[in-house]
Chain A
Amino acid sequence: MDVLDLPALRRRRSRRQAIVAVVLIAIVLGASVVAISLGASGITPARVFATLAGFGDRGDEFVVFRLRLPRIVTAIVAGFAFGLAGSLFQSVLSNPLASPDILGVSAGASFAAVFVLLVASGSGFAVSAGAFVGAFVIAALMWVLAWRGGLVGYRFVLIGVGLGYVVTAALGWMITRADVREVSQALVWMVGGVGGASWSDIGIAAGIVLVSSVAIIALGRRLPVLALGDDAARGLGVRGAVSRGALLLAAVALVAAATALAGPIAFVALISAPIARALLRDGGAALLPSALIGSALVVVADLVGQHVLADSVPVGIVTGVIGAPYLLWLIATSNRKGADG
């Protein structure tokens, strides 16, 4: 076959994308159904479908809609947001380490939430709101500090790392000074969990994720052009700084919403995009697949944490334990030339 047969290449590429997307959606839905059917009162998958379609009995309806579905939807929404945000950060700043965890955005959210918990003695919605504000404040600081007539990847990353350390130190200070039992509570939040959200929390977060995603779809076509550098992008009629800014703003909104909803389930943003790119192998940003990988990771991890492991382990711990070895393996076996970080 002719190597320069671009239309054929493109067809094969989009077929691969479609297959990957369908498989991932199937994994998310399958794991969701399993998660809803498992628990103290078991419900067969058939009854799960019937209940979701509105034909369930009252007991099943209570278990599904009140107890288990919020958890699943939280996992799907948070995972989607973390995966998409991680992929955006990494491709906009062209740095595989530019994930919200490392850039201090998650740490900012954690700091604000733990501040609300430990210092202001707040709970529930106040903690989520704190996390949301914290993520944005850190991102805004990073922006102001990194801006110098443009936004260059390495500078943004380094400043994010620096701010992350400050926030982590402040977090350490609060943790050494507060009452040990309250610190324990804060740790539970900091590790990330999907069990606590109400439908109204989920609604707010899902709304933010939806708006951000639409904005990202509209801007996403510029990503390949941005990858060429600001000068080349300008030549092609794309204003690099503005596009980068808008995309990163959307990514921060995603991280803020997801963290406010489920806590900093740290690993998902970092690892989703590398997995998605390994599946697609087309060198692109793989935005949608990254988001779907994020959802799949969180849903499956929560399933494992709740039902496979003994003591209902928080999802953030499971994602770390199952995700990190995969990333390590990916790094060890990767053949790609990783030039300068």
Chain B
Amino acid sequence: MTALAQPVVSASSPTKRRVRLLVALVVTIAVLALIALASLAIGTRQVAFPDVIHALVSPVDGNADHLVVRELRIPRLVVGLMAGVALGLVGTVLQGVTRNPIADPGLLGINAGASFAVVLAIATLGVTQPLGFVWFAFGGAALAALLVFVIGSSGRDGATPVKLALTGAALTALLTPLVTLVLIGDGDTLARFRFWSVGSLAGRGLDVAAALWPFLVAGVVVAALLGRRLNLLALGDDVARGLGARLGTTRVLAAVAVIVLAGTATSLVGPIALVGLVVPHLARPIAGGDYRWILVFSALFGPALLLAADVVGRVVVAPAELEAGIIVAFIGAPVLIAIVRRSTVRSI
């Protein structure tokens, strides 16, 4: 089943379909808002719900509850929202442009590139603060994505899904042992890096978010431009070309979106895998085959999944915390497996 075939085989009329999509959109936004509220209300410190609202609308100086909400939980929510949007869109763009259902920043070597840059920054330059990691993570992710696209699209056939995915796997296989080599010889770097490497929303301030929001906006805009092009691409290279699609332009735009968004997400929360992999698979059954809608739902499901994981991580082992990256894997993998077992990915 291809993207454009979806509306044709769909039994409902276009109007009904649009109503259904709008209802799903409203429900999704409501769920995301609830999760966002939960992320402000739930944590190691018990803050009563009215106090959360007070902290938002009329904070009292010196009130510890209000301080926790404003200084710790709001930055965490903002970071989670931004990273979630970025990760959701990255996964969708990657899967659309590679026509590969298992495309994910982790699998395409982008996380490995970011990790390598961060390890080098810690080990050789003595960078210790999250705001210091940001630009190295961004640069590493961007370089890795660029390398994967350049190498993956050289040769006669251009960027085939298999070549892109293999290139990412090769890059990961090259960089991971190098990271390990640095870590084996350097206990201090290991002590710092290991917490960054699991992916977490904690400890990133609004300064990081403030530095990165222009990149997020740019990435979202480029991703939004890709919707129609990805619909054409889903028909296969030859058909898309026949319908007048410029595949080269599409791939360049996709590369830009992936580089910027993956860089932003990784800089914000570390190398979190699986959000980008799972979210498009959740969005497709709801949005149908139209990538414009898949992108919209992915941009909402991404932060919902990431923030939910963060909240769960604060609850399950309280008063300690589990990093969001670990929870995402434990929530995301069963979801992915359930989807795969229902075989809806056959259509990709």
List the interface of chain A (C-beta within 8 A of B): 96-97, 99, 101-102, 145-146, 148, 154-155, 157-159, 161-163, 165-166, 168-170, 172-173, 175-176, 180-181, 183-184, 187-188, 190-191, 266-267, 270-271, 313-314, 316-317, 319-321, 323-325, 327-328, 331-341
Contact partner of A320 (CB less than 8 A), chosen from B106, B173, B325, B328, is B173
> Within 8 Å of chain A (Cβ to Cβ): is B171?
yes
Seen from chain B, the residues whose Cβ lies within 8 Å of a Cβ on chain A are 98-102, 104, 106-107, 151-152, 154-157, 160-163, 165-167, 169-171, 173-178, 180-181, 183-184, 187, 190-191, 194-195, 197-198, 273-274, 277, 322-323, 325-326, 328-330, 332-334, 336-337, 340-341, 343, 345-346, 348
Interchain nearest-CB distance for B172 vs A (Å) = 9
Question: Using Cβ atoms and an 8 Å threshold, which residues of chain A touch B277?
Answer: 161-162, 165
Question: Do A162 and B340 touch (CB < 8 A)?
Answer: yes
Interface of A is mostly: helix
Q: Is B341 touching A145 in the complex (CB atoms < 8 A)?
A: yes
B126 → chain A, closest Cβ, in Å? Answer: 17
23 contacts between A and B (CB under 8 A): A97-B165, A97-B166, A154-B346, A155-B343, A157-B102, A159-B336, A159-B341, A162-B332, A162-B333, A166-B330, A168-B273, A175-B194, A175-B198, A187-B183, A187-B190, A266-B173, A270-B169, A316-B180, A324-B174, A327-B173, A335-B157, A339-B161, A340-B348
Closest B residue by C-beta to A102:
B169
A337 CA / B157 CA spacing, docked (Å): 7
Residue from A154, A155, A341 within 8 A of B162 (CB atoms): A341
Interchain CB contact under 8 A, B174 and A176 = no
Which residues of the other chain, A, contact B348 by a CB distance below 8 angstroms? 340
Give min CB distance, A54 to chain B, whole Å.
39
Docked Cα-Cα span, A175 to B181, in Å, equals 16
- Interface class of chain B by DSSP: helix
List residues of chain B with CB within 8 A of the CB of A165.
Answer: 106, 273-274, 277, 329, 332-333
Q: How far is the CB of A29 from chain B (nearest CB, A)?
A: 27
In the assembled complex, the CB of B96 is this many whole angstroms from the nearest CB of chain A, namely 13
Closest A residue by C-beta to B340: A158
Query: Do A317 and B173 have beta carbons less than 8 Å apart?
Result: no
Q: Which of A146, A173, A328, A341 contacts B102 (CB 8 A)?
A: A341
Within the assembled complex, what's the spacing in Å between the Cα atoms of A191 and B178? 10
Contact partners of A336 in chain B: CB under 8 A? 157
Question: Which residue of B160, B166, B328 has the most chain A CB atoms within 10 A of its CB atom?
Answer: B166
CA distance A332 to B155 in the complex (A): 5
Please indicate the chain A residues that have their CB under 8 angstroms from the CB of B340 in the complex.
Answer: 146, 155, 158-159, 162
A335 partner, pick from B155, B167, B336, beta carbons under 8 A: B155
Partner of B180, one of A146, A157, A187, A333: A187
Which residue among A97, A99, A333 has the maximum number of chain B CB atoms within 10 Å of its CB?
A97
What residues on A are CB-neighbors of B98 within 8 Å? 341
| A266: chain B residues within 8 A (beta carbon) | 173, 176-177
The closest CB in chain A to the CB of B103 belongs to A341
A183 to B186 CA separation, bound complex (whole angstroms): 11
Beta-carbon nearest neighbor of A156 in chain B = B340
> Considering the chains assembled together, what is the distance between the CA atoms of A169 and B194 in angstroms?
12
B161→A341 contact, CB < 8 A: yes
A332 and B171 contacting across the interface, CB-CB below 8 Å: no
Whether the Cβ atoms of A184 and B187 lie closer than 8 Å is: yes
- Which residue on chain B has the smallest CB distance to residue A141? B337
Interface contact A328-B167, CB-CB below 8 Å = yes
B240 to chain A, nearest CB (A): 14
B169 near A97 with CB under 8 A, answer yes
Are A331 and B198 neighbours in the complex by a CB distance under 8 Å? no
Q: How far is the CA of A334 from the CA of B173 in the complex (A)?
A: 19
A158 and B336 contact, CB distance less than 8 A: yes
Complex contact B187–A181 (CB within 8 A): yes
Q: Which of A170, A320, A335 contacts B156 (CB 8 A)?
A: A335
Q: Which residues of A contact B102 (CB under 8 A)?
A: 97, 157-158, 161, 341
The listed residue (A169, A334, A339) touching B198 by CB distance below 8 A is A169
Contacts of B171 in A (CB 8 A): 324, 328
Chain A residues with CB under 8 Å of B173's CB are 101, 266-267, 270-271, 320, 323-324, 327
Q: Give complex CA distance A148, B344 in Å.
A: 14
A184 to B175, CA, bound (A): 18
B165 CB contacts on chain A under 8 angstroms: 97, 341
